[in-house]
Structure 1
Amino acid sequence: MTDLDVLVLRERLVAPNGPYAALDVVATTGSTNADLLAAAGEGAVDRTVLVADAQTAGRGRRDRTWVSPAGTGLYLSVLLRPSAVPAGRLGTLGMVAGLALMHVATEAGVTASLKWPNDLMIAGAKCAGVLSEAVPDGAAQAAVVGIGLNVAPLPETVPAGPGGLPATCLADHGATTTDRGTLAIGFLGAFLELEHTWRFADGDVERSGVLTGYREACGTLGQRVRAELPGGSTRVGVAVDVDAGGRLLIKMDDGAVSALSAGDVVHLNPEDV
């Protein structure tokens, strides 16, 4: 875990030298998101960060497992308390995190895009994911945003994602750095810069510019897609836009437009149905 040196990360990122209030690094935990959700209930402060070398119960969207072996990825979560942001806008923090992941890939010399809602894609494979969760039943509004970024190759036993989506990592695409401390500093710096602008705009992704950046980075737009929705129904059509609530707009074959706030999206070939 030498590349996740807590003293170096604190020196660069924690007040008075950096924008974060607290940061810890652990060798292993169940889930950094779960840990910070619990810490929020115990009064943990705004902009608290937890980084893990490994997770034994890493979680993705829709309660899927995120494989998190030691030494191969960057697994971290941030606790935020944006008290002036309407609760209905907290979900767009995932868009902020997605753009910060794009920054990390670009700085590492890797060409990437975002697949709606917030998967980092490289050459048709998934390199990172985002999980954003509101803190339940808290006296003060809070949210936890977590990322899992594949840095080194994963075991061959890692299952494919929805639609057979394979996993990949930065190292497989010639990244200029695979030092997880460097990547953590890059991500957390970009994330806080974007989150500060988002917070100043009361979580409005249009006024903050987050929506414009997300649309430019989103490789789903213009693609023919199949959306697999909670409950088992599907939508097939062309992804035409992302709205200010982070919903994906799909123009279906009958011309109707469906706005999706949740679900798995599979990019299709033009001839697929």
Structure 2
Amino acid sequence: MSHDVRTDELKRALVAPFGPYAALEVVPSTGSTNADLIAAAARDAPDRSVLIAGEQTAGRGRRSREWVSPPSSGVYLSVLLRPAEVPAARLGGLALVAGVALVRAARDAAGVDAVLKWPNDLLAGPDRAKCAGVLSEAVPGGAGVVVGIGLNVERSPVEIPPGPGGLPATSLAECGAVTTDRTTIAGAVLAAFAQLEAAWREAGGDLEASGVLAGYRDACGTLGQRVRVELPDGTDRTGVAADVDAGGALVIKAEDGTESVVSAGDVVHLRAR
């Protein structure tokens, strides 16, 4: 069975001594690339290990949602990172690093108009439908972080349920991508991620000092929008998304001018009244 991803080509471009990653493996199918790398971390897998799957049978997104990952339709990958020089409190910034990498790959490699919905959903095309998501998970025992990316490249052969607020799914192909070659797309995502992650790590995880925050603000389609944020406790906040702060949290300005800071939740972009 063809993986549809040319492993040797990616290794030549991305794995040491010629590239930034320590190891890269491509498998035809697995339950979850994140789960596999978390398990591999316990077996001393090295910093900057990459796992790519042709399909996931138990892919997952934020807040324990299913991530539909049919065969030969997307790029499903995870990266194990062990940034010992970054304080634990700053590790959440990796989700923003991954979001900026996704936007750059979609725009530069696929030629697709794309932006981010806070914190790291990739919205693409004129209708701003969901094209990709990021799930960052800590390795038990403080032994690292696994960052997972699911990117829809081809139109899904199975129905994908809409996201929060009824947000529909899309793919790079449906948005007029100049290429849907999954080796090219995966390579672009991993190259952009490596560049951004290296700057973030060198800055001790400081999103602002590394330049990641400026890149994120530039790529974030949520800023300036009227939004409803559905919080994990079941409540919500409504207002204008005014900023993303130095910790990656979303600043919401209510109609009465008061501001609140949200560090986790589902954003729904509301139509202007």
1:36 maps to amino acid: L
Tell me the residue number matched to 2:177: 175
1:165 aligns with 2:167: yes
Q: Which runs of 5+ in 2 are unaligned?
A: none
Letter in 2 for 1:65: E
Report whether the alignment pairs 1:127 with 2:124: no
After superposition, the Cα gap between the structure-2 partners of 1:46 and 1:251, relative to the gap in structure 1 and judged at 3 Å, is same
Is 1:92 the counterpart of 2:93? The answer is yes
For residues 123-272 of structure 1, the aligned pairs below 5 Å read 123=126, 124-138=128-142, 141-155=143-157, 157-271=159-273
SS of residue matched to 1:129: strand
Secondary structure, aligned partner of 2:29 = strand
Contact persistence 2:4–2:54 (CA under 8 A): no
Q: Which amino acid aligns with 1:148?
A: G
Is residue 44 of structure 1 aligned with residue 65 of structure 2?
no
Q: Which piece of structure 1 moves more, 148-157 or 30-39?
A: 148-157
- Aligned-residue RMSD, C-alpha: 1.0
Equivalent position amino acid for 1:35 in 2: D
How many angstroms does 1:83 deviate by? 0.1
How many residue pairs match? The answer is 269
* Residues 204-261 of structure 1: per-residue CA shift (max 9 Å, x gap): 0000000001001100000000000012101000000001111000011222211111
Q: Is residue 222–residue 269 contact of structure 2 (8 Å, CA) maintained in 1? A: yes
Question: In the aligned structure 1, how far is the partner of 2:237 from the partner of 2:191?
Answer: 37
Which amino acid in structure 2 is aligned with residue 205 of structure 1? Answer: L
Identity percentage over the alignment?
65
Partner Cα distance (1:247, 1:109) in 2 = 29
* 2: CA distance, partners of 1:85 / 1:58: 28
Shift in Å, 1:155:
3.2
Contact map agreement 2:137 2:145 (CA 8 A) in 1:
yes
For residues 9-39 of structure 1, the C-alpha deviation after alignment (integer angstroms, 9 at most, x for no partner) is 1121111121110010011111001111111
1:156 deviates by: 5.2
- Secondary structure of the 1:126 match is strand
Runs of 4+ with deviation above 2 angstroms? none
**1:25 and 2:26 are equivalent in the alignment:** yes
How far did 1:7 drift? Answer: 1.6
Distance 1:21 1:46 in 2: 7
What SS does the aligned partner of 2:70 have? coil
Q: Shift of residue 2 of structure 1? A: 4.8
Partner residue, 1:58: 59
**Distance in structure 2 (CA, Å) of the matches to 1:158 and 1:24:** 27
1:240 aligned counterpart, secondary structure: strand
Match of 1:216, SS state, is helix
